[in-house]
Structures are given as structure tokens and as C-alpha cells.
Structure 1
Amino acid sequence: MSGPDVNLVLRSTRVVTPEGTRPATVAVAGGTIDAVLPYDTEVPAGARLEDFGDDVLLPGLVDTHVHVNDPGRTEWEGFWTATRAAAAGGITTLLDMPLNSLPPTTTVENLRIKQQVAAPKAHVDTGFWGGALPSNVKDLRPLYEAGVFGFKCFLSPSGVEEFPELDQEQLARSLAEIAGFGGLLIVHAEDPHHLADAPQRPGPGTHPMSATASRPAPSGTAGAGRFARPLLGAFLVAAAVDLTGLLAGLDTVHLVAKPLLMPLLAAYAAVRGGPRPLIAALLFGWGGDVFLLADNDLAFLLGMGSFAVGHVCYLTLFGRGQARTRASLAAGIAYAVVLAVFLVLIWSDLPAELRVPVAGYSLLLTAMAWRAGVLGRYAAAGGALFLLSDALIATGIAEWPRLPAPDFWVMLTYIAAQLLLALGVLRVGRGGRP
């Protein structure tokens, strides 16, 4: 047995060591591990043996992020309870965060106060982080020399008045000071401007978009978010060019502009943090756009199929919408009546080989338009306009009388539909703000 001062011996058939888990004996002298020895090592005279059988014996864990809140807010937590709970969970060292206690750990004097409060209450080893504030750059080196392990700061409000956030200039000064003595700074790096736009309340708890609504997606991805407005602007410019080309009878302009629309809108939705089914629906819409540029029945069927997959993506996204069941039921009945009347009127005028595909597609499209209402007025209007746009296409196939510049009206309603559907989804994701 190692060392003459060994007074405690721990033994288990499963001791976790750097070499793996094995039977071993752990010799402890004065509260410190003295040696890890073979399982059957003799216990020295006077030492107490604790045999844990097959229970796992492992090194104590270290928790580097603990808010003990002591002194000042011990109704939340204190060193007595925090360190006892840590010990019960196998944590033998914890590092206390600098905020939520009164005072915060932002000067050497405040650190000493916390150390004095912790000393008679701590059941495990306890260390401390320091805080970087707008006003304490001069205190950072003394804190480090007094024993803090590193520093923490916020770039957005911390939630407590005594621990204000840093702006970019203040962050740069703190970083330069801490780098000067080789310290560590950990940063709550959320962008305060994006957080200010975050929803204050999540959406309806039963809605599948509630989790998305509870946080602003751009808060940690502001770099990508800065492209949102240019992408939306590019989409609107491409839409205006396409519609102008249709009014002017410039087919080449339409052939160039139309395929750009949905990729730009999908990219806008992506940088806004839109859900994957939305982006997929827009890209399948792009597939339909491309197929429909060819004027033949096969291309029409392929385009209709691509749009149909997009509608399935929308339906997946809309979910059950339990919060608006009554309103949706009334809208659903109205949509069903409109669909039935439209199909009855147009049926005999459709080419025979397209009747069943058009009927099936129309049913799926109507279901999408109805369910879009669960996400509010924007999405509801988008669903209705999508139905109108495709009805205009169907009347052309049936060779019904059409409005002047019919392709213009088809594209206008289609572009507005996809834009409103996207904004409706993103509006829910931002807690009601488009």
C-alpha cells in the first residue's frame, strides 16, 4: 500500500481509470487520492476499508457552469444546497458563475465576500468565474490574479441590473485586457437587436409551429440574416420583370425570369430561419414552374405532379391547427362546395386524359388552401390565391373564355400566393410579425 498516511481504502470490481474500467483499490491519504492499486492489495493497519462490490467507482465530475446565487438570492439557491446536491450527483468540483449573487463577482472585494460566504457551507471544492462589465476593465487582471478561472460577459441583457451587457467597443476592450494576461472570456453572444424582435409569447401550445415561435431564429445567425432583405428584393424585382414581360408579350423575358422566382423566395425563407417543409414546398413549386414552360401535356402532368408534392409539404407544415378548428371547418365546407361546383362545370370541357389527374390535383390543392388558414390571414390568402391561379390555368385547358393577358393573371395570383404562404409561415415563426 502506498504512503504511510493512508487512512481510507476504497475498493470495487469496477473502478474507472484512464486505462479503462477494472477491479482496483484506491488509497486515500488525508482526503486526497494517493494511489490506484491492484484489487487485492493489502489494507494497511489503521486504515478504513470501504468495499463497494460491483458498484462503479469513478473520479468526481467537474461542473464548470453553476449559478449558486449566494449571497443575495439564496431563495433561488445557496452554497449549502448547491454543493450538497453536487456531491449527491457525483460532482466534486463546481465553478460558480459571476452573476445572480449580490454582489456579483466583478471585483476582488466581491470575490472575497463570495469566498467567505462559501467557505463554511461548501461540501465540494468550489471555484469562481469573474464577470466582465462595461465599468470594470481595470478589475479584470486583479480578479485573475486573485484566483478566478476566467470571465463571463453578455452582449444582450443578462436579466439582472447589476450585471449589464457589453457593447462591441466594450467587448473589444475587455478582450484586449484579458488577452494581455492569458485569461479566458466566455460570451453570451446573442445579438440584442434580433432578441428585441423575438416573440414575447410562443404561439398556441398545441400548434406544431409553437417551438419555432418561441425563439427568433436569426439571434445566433445574424450573418446569414443580413441577406434576407436583398433576397426578398431580388424576388420582387424578378416578379415585376416577369409580369411586365407577360404584359408586353416578351416571351424570352418570361422564360428567363420565371425560373428565378421560387429559388429566390426559398433562399429568403431559408435565411429567415423558415422550416424545411416551407423551403421544400417552394422548390417543388420551382420544379412545376420549369415544367410548365414547355407547352405539352406531358410537361403539364409533370408540373402538376411537382406542385402536388409541394402542396403535401405545405399540408405537413400546417399540421392539425387545433386552435382554429371551428373557423377552419366553415372554410373547409365552403372550399368543398367551390371545388365540387367547379369540377362539375369544367369536367366535360377537359381533355379526357386529364380529367382524373386534374380532379385529384384539385382536391389536394383545395385541402392545402383550406388548411393554410391555421397560420393566419397571410397564409389563408395565399392558399386561396393559389387555388384561383390554378383554376385560371384549368379554364385555359378547357378553352373557356379568358381574361385579357391570361398568363399575366395566372402568374400574378401565383406569385402573390407563394409569397403570402411564405410570409404566413415566417410570421408564425416570429410570433405574429411578418
Structure 2
Amino acid sequence: MSSNTVEGNGGGQAAGAIDDDEFRTLYSDLTSKKKELKRLKTGLPTPAASLEPDDERVKADKERIAKEEVALKEALTKVNEAADQKTKAAIERIISCPDEAYDDILNIREDVKEEDKKLARDKSFVLLGCLVHPGYTLGDQALNAYLKLHVAADRMDLNGSYIEAVKDWDGEEDIINFKDDSEMPDANDNASQVKPELPTWVAEIHGKALEPLKELFGNPNSPGAMSALNEIDQQIEKGVGGSESKEERAEWALKPNVFKLYFAELKRLNAISPEDPSHSTTKVRRNVVINLLDTTIKKLLSTTPGDEKQIEKRNKTCEAIVNLIELRNYPKDWKYIHELKQMDYPWHTVPIGNTTSRIIGVREVGRGKQVCIEIMEGGCWIRRLEAASETEFGTQATEEYFAHENSKNFSKGQSKWSKEDKSAFQKLHWCRGKLSL
């Protein structure tokens, strides 16, 4: 699905565009053809043993490979054409949705039954996340749609496995046809994939990118930094130091427009004051941009093992880039949110074991309960909602807390909140799911 779509101005569902299920079928067929072609090219035994002499069998295999290559090209064309249409429609639809219309953003129809909505949200998020993923769909509109999608996923408490799978998507793997979260790929699985080894001449050119990247981070509109980075990409594209293929050189290109896009969004998010009404979504958007930068850098610099000096130099370059971007630091004006002292609540709280963590409230969800936990993570006090059944202390401790006469039930009266009440509550640094820093 890595079609590098540039968003257009088409409205809604494009004329003749296929629906989501048809697209999933097309993509599944493409994935099957890729696997079959790879199997043939790696010389694995064919399903039916051949009785022909070896030379005839080799000839037959070559013919099968040629046939599969034609079929794969046709399938790829169909998928890319469909992806272009669906991506343009998805970007425009998501951007046009109100910021807090989370089910509209996730494209959940009103006629979906309440008990079916959770799975529908998960499935739709994965498909939309792949379609508008800014790593494979160019432009600031795609990035905006992608970030808006992640905010909706966070607010609607989607399955973390699906969220991480979309973040780690490589642009090709079929993650849109999952049946449950056990089918989601592990992020570590990509480490075993064979990648072209980074030549010394490319590593040396990457080393020259440090200063212009530093300048671009400080000023995403710096013409000098962009010029220097584009020149580096031209050197890699021309293959001035080696005879590697065009495809391999493309893998090593910096693509400065991508860095410019992410740096500009980080700068915009960092400038948002904690008092701003949009601040409640800022942390979610910022963490997603940080993940995109991490993924971009790792993909750029990770290769199969080379000589030790080359690996050391490559790792130092990667580490320097990550450090200069200061991906792991929050802006100074956010500091008061993470005060180290625990808050005094006007209701009953319960310590968790022999730790400083504690239960500070419960929220009823359908027939189950979510428990709000206050915990120290990364030097900050985090308040997080988790399903009671998935916590280390279990549902019994949650029920015991809930039965206490002075416990806090976050479900009571939540529909009566005013905007002022909601804004005040969000200052508790509330988050759903795990927050990656």
C-alpha cells in the first residue's frame, strides 16, 4: 500500500471507489501473490513434486516466476489505484470531522450495534491508519489526518496492539485483515528481515546530515538546511560511491521533506500552552510525531551487520540525531503538570501493594469496570484508565474499592459535565492506555 499518494481535493467517496471489504480482499490477494513469488524465487520445493528432469524443472519454475510477476504487477496496480482513491477520500473526510467527533473520525456508522462498535473501531482504525500513514502518504494533510485518527483511538480506548501495529507498519505487511490482536505482528519481527547492508560511503554521507538536521529542527523553514539535505540525497541517488541498485539507494535517502514536516509539527505542538483548550490532545499528537521520527531514523540507519567500525559509526550518528532532536523531553511550560507530589483527593484512595501507586477511582463500562491508577512513570505522576481484569491486582481489589462508601465512581454524572468541568479534570493529566515517552 506504499503508494506515496499526494492528497487531492476529491470529495468523500470517489466515483467508482471500492468499499472497505473489497479493498481488504484486494490487499490480501496482493500479499498472497508476494509470498508465492518469494517462495518461487528462493527455490523452495513446489507443492507438487515434479517428475521432469532438473533442466526441465528449472525451465518450468522460471515460467511460473514470470507468470507470477505479471500477476503480482496487475494486483499491485489494482491495490495502488484503489488506495489512491480511498486515501484521498479518507484524508478529506477525517480533516472535515469535528475534533471530538471520534466515531465519525473512525468512520463508524450510526447503525452499528453498540456491542459491535469496539471491533468496528479497531478494524476501521487499522485500515485508515495504513491509508493515511504519513510515512507512505505524502503531505501535511495526511499527517494531520493521521494524528487526528490517533487522538480518536486514544479517546475511544482502542486496543493497544492495533495502535502499535499501525505505528510500526512497514508500508507493505497485511495488517488490515486481522481477526484478533493475536494476529498483529510483533514490532520486533521486522528486526529479522534482511536489509541491504549500508555501504561505508553512504554512512559517511549520513554523517554530514547531522548539522543541517540540527538547523532544520530549530527552524523547519530553513532554506540552507533543506538545500544541504537535498544535496546529500542527490549524492546518494547518483550513487557517487558505489554501484548499488536504485532501490537500495532509495532506502538510504534522507527525504528531508519528511523531517521538515515532523519538525514543523513538533514545533507547533511545543508552542501550545497548557491553558489552551486544545492542550488535552497535544500530548497524544506529540507522542505520535515522536514515534514517526523514531521510526524514520531507525529505518534509515538500520541494516544487516557490517564491520564493527561501520556499525559503531552508524549507531553514533543515529544516537546523535535522536539526542539533538530531544525527543524524550517535554517542553518547559508543561512542567507544572508533572508535579512530583501526589495530589490529595477528597475521596477514598487505596495504595497498590507496597508501592506509591494507588487506585483513585473506578469507571463502569458496560458490564465491567475500568480502574483509574495513579502511578509514577518517567519521573511523572500519571493517571491511567485500565480494564480491572488486566491489572496486576485484579477485579477483586477493584470491587473492594468500589464497595467502599467513599470510593470515587467516575461514571456518575459524567454526562452532566460542563466544558469548564471537563477542562479542569483534564489538568489531572488523564490518559487512556499506556503513554510512550
Shorter chain as normaliser: what TM range? under 0.3
Q: Which has the higher contact order (CA 8 A, sep 6+)?
A: 2
More strand, by proportion: 1
| Structure with max Cα Rg | 1
TM-score (norm 1): 0.25
- What TM-score, normalized to structure 2? 0.25
